[in-house]
Structure 1
Amino acid sequence: MGKHKNLAIVRSVTSQGLSVASTARKYRVSRQWVYTLMRRYQASGPAGVEPVSRAPARRPVSTPDPVRKRIIELRQHLTSQGADAGAETIAWHLQREGFHAPSKATIHRILRTAGLVTAAPQKKPKSAMIRFEAELPNQMWQADITHWHLVGGTRVDILDFLDDHSRYLVGITAYTRCTGADVVEMMTTLITGFGPPATTLTDNGLVFTSRFATHPGARNGFEVLLASQKIQQKNGAPGHPQTQGKIERFHQTLKRWLSSKPTPTELTELQELLDQFRTWYNTNRPHRAIGRRTPEQAYTALPKATPTAEQNTQYRTRRDRVDASGKVTLRYAGRLRHLMIGRANKRQPIIMIIDGENVTTSHAHTGEILAEHTLDHTKIYHPKRPPPPNPQTHQKR
């Protein structure tokens, strides 16, 4: 339509003899525009009055082709490796490689144009989330157990500990079946290597807490270890995994990365993959929640928090009867312990007063103290604690 109108304006002057002012009034354009069309027509004929694009000949702020190409390559490479491949991650990699990274919106637009974006309209917006974060490294460790499969479908457990402040993966280990003893052993190793955290946050699995056990009572091994280190223990509300949201989200990253690798045939192969993942996750993967730093950078940037709260000792009583061999059993640190009372007291009713690791056993009817024990989580059988020496036997004659 524009070409034909422009040509009609020119013909009104050249063929019909109208003046420039009359032609401008007739077609409701400016006189300057009529003169411009006349000059174009005289120079190039009808082709000269065709509409011309108003876009600039060059766009100095447009994304260069090498950068566009590298954005697409990074998206495809990171996706194939099971890594995060969003606009912020791609911008971080571009900067590391020496490119001038465009804005997140520009990167997203390039990916969408290339058909590399899958719409997710049902995804919950970030503004709907309520987040919390520890202020210092080692202020809180989150721990959990997830699962993976070996060749043949064998299911195995993966235990991991994540620093809440920095997202630093403190430890990750594969087990055929993770037990309470495994959790205690790994936690002890991590405390030796990284120092004790001020608090821990886990779900209510029996390897982490005994408060929802079928027969609750004594603390399990993990609880005893935390109490001995003055580490405050926190547990999420039952049926509310969002409390441990960071480590739950971490498992998505872990499993996406494992899915991009060949399925391991043995537990040792899986552990090798987990060790590789831990190095990559801590040192080569920028994390959006910590300012596009790696977890290792965030973990080493500030001083470490340490336990400060005094732990309340566990006090409880229990009624029982001495067995025929002169022993009673007591669950402590997740295992049954055998306490020697003495054959002379077999079949006798007793009351046990448990104050942390100290146990005092008395006769249920007479109140006579029969034995005292100090529990050791490394031992199953506990002999009676020897009575204190009688001062009178040490008096000089």
Structure 2
Amino acid sequence: MSQRQRLIEQLLLPNANVSELCKSFNVSRKTAYKWLSRYRLGGFSALSNRSKAPVIQPHKISSEMEERIVRLHEENPYWGPRKLRDYLLYVKHLSDVPSHTTFARVLKRHDCHVITSNKSKPATLRFEREQPNDLWQMDFKGSFMTEDKRCYPLTILDDCSRFSISLVACDSETSSIVKGHLTNIFHEFGLPNHINVDNGNPWGSADLTSYTSLQIWLMKLGIKITHSAPFHPQTNGKDERFHRTLKLEVLHQRSYKKKEIQDVFNGWRHKYNYERPHEALNGRTPSHKYHVSSKRFSENPIPFEYEDGIVKKVHSSNGMFCFRGERFRAGKGFNGEYIAIKETDKSDEFAVFFMDNFIKKVKLGESVQ
């Protein structure tokens, strides 16, 4: 017999002294009367401890939902609670999806650990273009060895939507290879207004001293080219973040054959664009925001006509041009192209343009000998 039952039996005796009994059983008068009230409503069985949980438990979820959360984490061990929740909410369009804190409790309860790169996120000011295809970020993600050959992943990311335009396993970083892949990409997605690239081959340089044939080709298509600040690849921040995710989820401690890596890239890119929620997009996927460009690609664009300036043709052998009896360097990337020379506010200094792109300034008396 429990202490509560013995107390109730004593309280029910004629002439029972409540104060003395409470002192003897080491309980308060309030507790004694509470147990007595329970006994009168439900007998001795009503004296057992009651659950302290609220009648309505807003965080309690069904076993089916809990199993689904655990299974989803097993399939996507790099996704945290917010991303898992956003996937069910915005990709699978489920109703009654619990909060991300509930997801976190479920993962903790089942000892599910999220795999991360262990790199703290830098505090940066986020900026982005307002419309898709206004700016693409393009770069090579270094290189890595497959089981039989070195691979150079070419990545292109839309700045506004974070949509992965391209993830191509290239054999090298030459202009001809990039141009071939870009031709296919432009046929599928159209043309962007701007492309931001790194410095050096095959992109050219930010100080406007080196123009590559690839850069000239892009300008002839009407695309404005900008470069990351020298030694600061973070200027291409979204593409750099994409590279870290690619390394963590695809390349880290894994080995592939060269012939299979493109299929691996294609599968992961589809998941990244259409299934993987993005925090910067309020949990939506990049595909939710992206659309192809209205500027269509032509392999034979209409030749550009200069409206002002003195038009000169760059020599096809050495990238030089002649102006007022002097020789100046445009760069071998301009071999065979037409440029325009325009006056500035200085009588001996002139601005050189290719189409509507400023190239450099030249000064009379400082020609190349």
TM over 0.5: yes
Hey, what's the Cα distance between the residues in 1 that align with 2:250 and 2:117?
Answer: 27
Q: 1:190 is paired with a residue of what secondary structure? A: helix
Conserved 8 A contact 2:153-2:169: yes
Q: Per-residue deviation at 1:249?
A: 1.5
Q: Which amino acid letter does the alignment assign opposite residue 104 of structure 2?
A: H
Hey, what's the Cα distance between the residues in 2 that align with 1:30 and 1:164?
Answer: 71
Q: Determine whether 1:74 maps to 2:72.
A: yes
Higher mean C-alpha deviation, range 34-43 or range 139-148 = 34-43
Q: Which amino acid letter does the alignment assign opposite residue 75 of structure 2?
A: H
Specify which of 264, 276, 279 is matched with residue 285 of structure 1: 276
Conserved 8 A contact 1:136-1:304: no
Partner of 2:359: none
Partner of 2:327: 352
Higher mean C-alpha deviation, range 203-212 or range 117-126 = 117-126
Partner of 1:94: 88
Conserved 8 A contact 1:151-1:263: yes
Conserved 8 A contact 1:209-1:220: yes
Partner of 2:218: 226
Q: Per-residue deviation at 1:62?
A: 1.1
Partner of 1:135: 130
Q: 1:157 is paired with a residue of what secondary structure? A: strand
Alignment CA distance shift 1:194-1:38 (3 Å): closer
Q: 1:330 is paired with a residue of what secondary structure? A: coil
Give matches, 1:313-392, under 5 Å.
329-331=317-319, 351-353=326-328, 357-358=337-338
Hey, what's the Cα distance between the residues in 2 that align with 1:121 and 1:296?
Answer: 25
Q: 2:264 is paired with a residue of what secondary structure? A: helix
Partner of 2:345: none
Q: Per-residue deviation at 1:353?
A: 3.6
Partner of 1:187: 182
Q: Which amino acid letter does the alignment assign opposite residue 352 of structure 1?
A: R
Partner of 1:114: 110
Q: Per-residue deviation at 1:178?
A: 1.4
C-alpha deviations, 1:161-207, integer Å up to 9, x for none?
11111112222222221112323333344334333212111221321
Q: Per-residue deviation at 1:239?
A: 2.5
Give the gaps of 5 or more residues in structure 2: 298-305, 341-353, 355-369
Q: Determine whether 1:252 maps to 2:244.
A: yes
Hey, what's the Cα distance between the residues in 1 that align with 2:118 and 2:179?
Answer: 41
Alignment CA distance shift 1:136-1:129 (3 Å): same
Conserved 8 A contact 1:87-1:108: yes
Conserved 8 A contact 2:139-2:154: yes
Higher mean C-alpha deviation, range 282-291 or range 244-253 = 282-291
Hey, what's the Cα distance between the residues in 2 that align with 1:135 and 1:359?
Answer: 33
The number of equivalent residue pairs is 317
Partner of 1:170: 165
Q: 2:144 is paired with a residue of what secondary structure? A: strand
Q: Which amino acid letter does the alignment assign opposite residue 180 of structure 1?
A: S
Q: Which amino acid letter does the alignment assign opposite residue 197 of structure 2?
A: T
Hey, what's the Cα distance between the residues in 1 that align with 2:293 and 2:222?
Answer: 22
Alignment CA distance shift 1:101-1:248 (3 Å): same
Partner of 1:235: 227
Hey, what's the Cα distance between the residues in 1 that align with 2:154 and 2:37?
Answer: 80
Alignment CA distance shift 1:144-1:329 (3 Å): same
Q: Determine whether 1:65 maps to 2:63.
A: yes
Partner of 1:104: 100
Alignment CA distance shift 1:359-1:116 (3 Å): closer
C-alpha deviations, 1:129-174, integer Å up to 9, x for none?
321111101110001101232114x321111111111112222222
Q: Per-residue deviation at 1:71?
A: 0.3
Give the gaps of 5 or more residues in structure 1: 318-326, 333-338, 342-349, 361-373, 375-397
Q: 2:165 is paired with a residue of what secondary structure? A: strand
Hey, what's the Cα distance between the residues in 2 that align with 1:23 and 1:167?
Answer: 74
Partner of 2:291: 300
Q: Per-residue deviation at 1:115?
A: 0.9
Conserved 8 A contact 2:206-2:226: no
**Which structure is larger by alpha-carbon Rg, 1 or 2?**
1
Partner of 1:276: 267
Q: 1:264 is paired with a residue of what secondary structure? A: coil
Hey, what's the Cα distance between the residues in 1 that align with 2:209 and 2:116?
Answer: 47
Hey, what's the Cα distance between the residues in 2 that align with 1:301 and 1:292?
Answer: 21
Hey, what's the Cα distance between the residues in 1 that align with 2:52 and 2:27?
Answer: 21
Conserved 8 A contact 1:136-1:305: no
C-alpha deviations, 1:231-289, integer Å up to 9, x for none?
222222223232222111212332344349974323x4322332333333333333332
Conserved 8 A contact 2:319-2:329: no
TM-score relative to the length of structure 2: 0.68
C-alpha deviations, 1:292-332, integer Å up to 9, x for none?
333223112997799xxxx9x9x9x9xxxxxxxxx994159
Hey, what's the Cα distance between the residues in 2 that align with 1:235 and 1:198?
Answer: 14
Give aligned-pair identity as a percent. 25
Hey, what's the Cα distance between the residues in 2 that align with 1:50 and 1:23?
Answer: 20
